[in-house]
Amino acid sequence: DNLLGISWVDSSWIPILNNGSVLDYFSERSNPFYDRTCNNEVVKMQRMTLDHLNQMVGVEYILLHAQEPILFIIRKQQRQSPTQVMPLADYYIIAGVIYQAPDLGSVINSRVLTAVHGIQSAFEEAMSYCRYHPSKGYWWHFKDQEEREKTKPKAKKKEEPSSIFQRQRVDALLLDLRQKFPPRFVQQKPGEKPIPVDQIKKEPEPTPEAVKPEEKETVKNAQSAGAKGPPEKRIRLQ
């Protein structure tokens, strides 16, 4: 079974973990990484020291590296002679939690699968944006780009000032339209109801004969006074 995805811990052992007790901790019966047929179990049952492992042949566990109290590395190896061993697996204990270290083949296989999955996902996403039509051919259709264009504020265009020719031409057209279509209603004061142009009463202008002679004299006096100017002020001598 693949044990790379599991871990094991016994919280009662964590306060007393050290170089001398870590192999006993690893040899707990509930530990799935421990092999009951190993030489360590034989030495433990016969109450011998771990130095006798060098004289035996078979599977054994040794403490490869220790960094108390946080890190311990245990190696599982096949002993063929007192001087010849073959490593089988490595296990590391971090804060009392036991993990199996992955081998080189598993690491390469995981990295290759991750890279292939990323490339395949990129191709599938790229193909989802591809469009084709017999008359247009191939093109890219991105949904995110359309949403950005919708949310992007449109820049207001600056209005250019009109030229003299344009203003004169517009005034001429407005005057022509006013002559062709004169207004039918007139609003004399703001807020009042508009009145038709036909109902507006025009006051008759007074004829020159109807002007009274007294008014003529007052007008003449006013004109002469305006021509002569105001009388000069004299300084009084005291």
Q: Supply the CATH number for residue 31's domain.
A: 3.10.450.580
Same structural domain, 57 and 136: no
Residue 187, domain member (yes or no): no
Please name the residues in contact with 144: beta carbons below 8 A apart, sequence gap of 6 or more: none
- How sure is the predictor about 164, in pLDDT bands with cuts at 50, 70 and 90? confident
pTM given for the model: 0.50
Q: Which whole-number Å values give the CA distances from 83 to 32, 53, 77, 79, in the listed order? A: 29, 11, 12, 8
Average of pLDDT values for 85-114? 93
Q: Is residue 120 part of a domain?
A: yes
Choose among 45, 90, 80: nearest CA to 59: 80
End-of-domain residue from the set 141, 163, 196: 141
Shared domain for 51 and 67, answered yes or no, is yes
Average pLDDT of every residue of the chain: 81
Q: Domain for residue 119, yes or no?
A: yes
The answer as to whether 30 is a domain residue is yes
Q: Note whether 43 and 80 are same-domain residues.
A: yes
Residues 17 and 87 in one domain: yes
> Which one of 141, 168, 196 terminates a domain?
141
| Domain annotation covers residue 36 | yes
224 has a pLDDT exceeding 60: no
34 pLDDT above the threshold of 90:
yes
8 A C-beta contact, residue 64 and residue 23: no
Does the pLDDT of residue 197 top 50, yes or no?
yes
Kindly state whether residues 79 and 116 are assigned to the same domain.
no
* Number of structural domains in the chain: 2
Residues 92 and 125 in one domain: no
Between 65-69, 115-119, 158-162, the lowest mean confidence (pLDDT) is in 158-162
For residue 202, being part of any structural domain is answered with: no
Share of the chain above pLDDT 70, in %: 74
pLDDT of 59 above 90: yes
Q: Are residues 83 and 120 in the same domain?
A: no
Measure the CA–CA gap between 96 and 68, rounded to whole angstroms: 11
By residue range, what is the domain housing residue 129? 106-141
What would the two tokens of residue 156 be? 């207001």
27 and 94 part of one domain: yes
Pair 124, 59 in one domain: no
- 114 and 40 share a domain? no
Is 135 found in the same domain as 118? yes
Boundary (domain end) residue, out of 74, 101, 128? 101
Q: Which of 115-119, 177-181, 230-234 has the lowest mean pLDDT?
A: 230-234
Mean pLDDT on 126-139: 86
Same domain, 94 and 32: yes
The answer to whether residue 163 is domain-embedded is: no
